[in-house]
Structure 1
């Protein structure tokens, strides 16, 4: 026990009842030895949020005492909040804290992809200590795997997989089109089927059996709540590659070889004569 505490204890014993209350209040305010503010590292520090959907970064601090908590954006070392006050002109950012709570949150309304990056929660100790939180702002997208050009042998099965990532909700509907026309699964063409698996990432698989040249064209996958994606399918017949090879072969070298051979024969004949 320090000399100051012993002195106050002696004074309180002489001062009586009132002094005891003063001593109790004083000791309550004294910092606990070897104890200071600490970050609760069990709180997630790697967050993913959708474009336009409100994001909250939480910093939980224990034994804060009379220190303050601030949020700083690493990209431009910009001070965003101090305590319960917001220090940026960007009104999308807001400091959120409930009285007697250990949580100090940074709320971002209508986040954009440029808001992705590292944010640091800082405590005003000497020197300041900080805890970093990484925020990744993503936007929903669809992608036909293997695109934009897919080559299929005639007679084989066309297998197109559309992957939908980060949708706000699993797409209620998945529409496939071929050259702008909705693909019908009960058309006379036959052999067309669709398998869709919904979840955090949704996959939709279009299967077209026994591909023929007329199946060539632009295929588009359109989820009902995400932007579409397209891929162009090329159905190759057995004759097409061979025909292309023959057409690529130039007759000029063969004609040149014949001319050289005739010239040699003429020279040989003249030598005999």
Structure 2
């Protein structure tokens, strides 16, 4: 029987297949399948081998393969269809194995190996195709405002159907790490997201067929500016230099500036503006003021703005005057000269009348490392003042004792 190439020839081949081999067989001479019914599993892209071993076959018998859609594939060793992936391989005389190269998912199903006896004998073989997972669509990187809900998703395919696990990569940590989050599924939702949730997220699909599939997505969380001052008040002496620092936390960073009397301060011989990157969200806007004079004391405003909002904070720069020691000579009845010491606290020039220089020296409003570029802590200032009083008191007592002698 020749090779069949079109539909009419296929029908003819099938008719000849059914009509051939009508001989009368004695018992034990009937062709039989020599392998048990079994199932075959193959991975997509590989070659699937469907075995069919027959004993007792004669020259009058023909063997045919039929696919799950009842389509005739081969008769004897000839391929009936045009699919070049299909062939019949016979490593031994009894073998009529069907080979399907580069199998696809739609090749799955029940195949029949048939012998044209009367009636026709058939053996069923179930072919199952396993396919490694793949991600065909995903949500991609997300940029959201703080407080919103983020939806990340991955659409996966594979056979058997893959399980999807979500991971978070802590890219801002010193050591690279990741951890599983949420539950299995194609979608991950993060409700009321905060800036601390900004990271790389990854969906991983797995069905025990290698290779697995994964997709990373970056979540960027944005929020309005937040300003923090190290101190709301700064004291410095006239003629010296001082530095005012303002920390701005925002994402993204936009317009940041120091203002004086409603006007933006820019770099000049008087002012120096420097921006320092503290971390991924925070910058320090540093204002250096050279050679302080009377016009430099007063309020300074730090202002920040981005597309989500604005923030502002004020700092009071006041004049700090060094403490002075005055002595008053006094003569005793015996002619001895005794000097007494009186203490005059530092005088603060403050344009804001709410803070009067006549207030107590221990008033917390005057705490700070006055005279330095940046304010110190209240504790440091109080310890320093206490040590000065004790030391000078001891010196005074020593002078009086020497004079009395």
Q: TM-score category by the smaller chain?
A: 0.3 to 0.5
TM-score (norm 1): 0.45
Return the structure number with greater helix share.
1
TM-score (norm 2): 0.32
Q: Which has the higher contact order (CA 8 A, sep 6+)?
A: 1
